[in-house]
Chains A and B, each alone.
Chain A
Amino acid sequence: MAYKEIIAKFAGIPGGMIESYHAIQDEYSYLPEEAIIEAARVFSVPTAEAYGVATFYSYFSVKARGKNVIRICESAPCHIAGAADVVSALERELGINMGSSTADGRFALEFTECVGQCQATPVITINSKPYFDVTAAKVADILAEYK
């Protein structure tokens, strides 16, 4: 669905801009500049404000990124459970650094804070689906699900 149609669905909802951003990201994996300008128009706020909302929240990206967003929790419980090893394994496996996307546009690699699945640390999420007790050895198999 085009971003204009997506935003139009939320037009009448008070405070609906954030909801529309979620819906755009579901489709595009990020918030294209034109979509933010359109949201500003529809929700009658200055473009700067719409952009300010988009950049405030860490789950929104104003830059194009890979389709499958991999997030690695680096909060204290995951930190001591060995999140750093998982980070190295993911970077090695995908051939990219944290904060970037693969050249084929398939994966984006991001840090996140606690995702609330602390019964099985370290935790990563791919498109918000959590993977538990992740080790460096498990990384290749997990990624294979998305290749």
Chain B
Amino acid sequence: MAEEMRIVLRNYGKIDPLKIEDYIALGGYGALKKALSTEKTALINEIKKSNLRGRGGAGFNCGQKWSFAYAAQADQKYVVCNADEGEPGTYKDRLIMENDPQTLIEGMAICAYAIGATKGYIYCRGEYPQVVKILRAAIAQAKEKGLLEDFDLEVRMGAGAYVCGEETALIESIEGNRGEPRFKPPYPPVEGLWQKPTIVNNVETFAAIPLIVEKGAEWFASIGAPSYPGTKVVTLTGDINNRTFFEVPTTTTIREVIYELGGGIPADKKFKAVQIGGTSGAFIPESQLDTPIAFDAMAAIDATLGSGAVFVLDESRDLVDVTTRIAKFFEHESCGKCAPCREGTMRMFDLMEKIKHGEGSSADVALLNKLGRVMSYSCLCGLGQAAPSPVLSTIKHFSADYNAKFV
């Protein structure tokens, strides 16, 4: 039986998020204290050894990222939290920030000490103004208690641009510009916010830090899948009985999430497909449901773990219609900086509309396949590279649904 394990949501429902005393009473800020008495390289090595990998979708080793920023020579470094959670079907970061903002702040303060930064930003999406208020109140409390020492932390609010979840676009937005991704390299740990070394980590990544510091790298590394240890918060949407969230070890399979924790499909309907990782994720057929919710396991089936969103569709759903809606999403959210994404997302939506309305043919599907492949390696950032994934995966696994639409 699959069971929940709460690490980043350990204090969910146990504390008043606006009372720092509650957080401290449960051991909060003990990890920061411990970190501050540890030598910086030893601290970074400990995070590296825990094998914590970024929870924003890219899965980069967190400690290794920190070591780049630590090694960079600069008069100013920055710590940035990516709280621009924009993947449709995802609300895990909101859960953490609404219910336990101090754990995020403590994680960021530990990072700031480790890399030698004195200034940090939480970039929270514009859709969450209530979360921005909670974060600002929480930061004020931590400052008042003197817990952050010389670490100055500020909240910035996005304004409804999905692309700002891409770290360099996010940095541009903090600088007050259009949120268009930068060319990489240089990567942010070397040259980020205002050209200074910058660590950008996801909310869920920072939230895991205090417990790793407190309990040690070995403890964390032993949980879940060895190559992607720890837990993942999953949010269940679509045709599922329990439309809610769970935090599970990364050895938990998709099937366990849907049928055990999620309670299966409503009204005794049959399963059709599940899209994992948000709207940029691949659609997965029944035959692959025994794949664990872990980074490499998902990559092995040409899917992504992404944000951990789990969007379930039952047998009655029109997969071509849903995929067309998703293609429209990317057409709208493409920032327009690079041609393969700007033009590609538009053409992809056009072709999907054509097929959806019964005016397409197998030649259009072939064209979508080719366009999708080109986009996946020629687009500037992750948005354009991942945009074709729902289209390509539905063509691959559910070709009958496309064939049924042909003239």
Measured CB to CB, the residues of A under 8 A from B are 14-19, 21-22, 43, 49, 52-53, 56-60, 74-77, 79-80, 112-121, 125, 128
Contact = CB atoms under 8 A, between A and B. Distances in A.
B157 A113 contact: no
Contacts of A117: 91
A64 B126 CA distance: 20
B198 interface: no
Interface in B144-203: 156-162, 173-180, 194
A15 B175 contact: yes
B176 A114 contact: no
B326 to A, nearest CB: 6
A118 B91 contact: yes
Contact of B178 (A56, A75, A77, A80): A56
Contact of A79 (B91, B239, B322): B322
Interface string B226-250: 0000000001011100011100000
B85 interface: yes
B90 interface: yes
A119 to B, nearest CB: 5
Given A60-B160, A77-B88, 17 more contacts: A15-B156, A15-B177, A22-B126, A53-B176, A59-B160, A75-B88, A76-B88, A76-B326, A80-B239, A114-B89, A115-B127, A116-B94, A118-B237, A119-B91, A121-B237, A125-B127, A128-B127
B127 A77 contact: no
Nearest to B313: A80
Contact of B329 (A52, A75, A115, A120): A75
Nearest to A83: B325
Contacts of A119: 91, 235, 237, 243-245
Nearest to A75: B88
B176 A57 contact: no
A76 B311 CA distance: 9
B161 A58 contact: yes
A77 B91 contact: no
B332 interface: yes
B389 interface: no
Given A14-B194, A22-B159, A114 B87 contact: yes
B27 interface: no
Nearest to B278: A114
Contacts of B311: 76-77
A40 B148 CA distance: 34
Most buried by A among B125, B127, B129: B127
A77 B160 contact: no
Please name the 3 residue pairs, one residue from A and one from B, whose CB atoms are nearest each other, closest first: A15-B176, A57-B159, A75-B88
A60 to B, nearest CB: 6
A18 B89 contact: no
Contacts of A52: 178
Contacts of B243: 118-121
Contacts of B275: 76
Main secondary structure of the interface of B (DSSP, over half): loop
A76 B237 CA distance: 10
Given A17-B176, A52-B178, A74 B325 contact: yes
A137 B69 CA distance: 54
Contact of B237 (A19, A49, A77): A77
B398 interface: no
B406 interface: no
B91 A116 contact: yes
B3 to A, nearest CB: 21
9 contacts: A18-B173, A76-B311, A77-B311, A79-B322, A80-B313, A112-B127, A116-B91, A116-B94, A119-B245
Contact of A80 (B126, B238, B245, B279): B238
A19 B157 contact: yes
B90 A16 contact: no
B128 interface: yes
B242 to A, nearest CB: 10
A57 B161 contact: yes
B337 to A, nearest CB: 11
Contacts of B180: 56
A61 B238 CA distance: 31
A21 B127 contact: no
Contacts of B214: none
Most buried by B among A16, A77, A115, A117: A77
Contacts of A15: 156, 174-177
B257 to A, nearest CB: 15
B313 A77 contact: no
Contact of A56 (B86, B179, B279, B332): B179
A113 B162 contact: yes
B128 A116 contact: yes
A60 B309 CA distance: 27
Contacts of A76: 88-89, 238, 275, 279, 311, 322, 325-326, 329
Contacts of B326: 76
A93 to B, nearest CB: 23
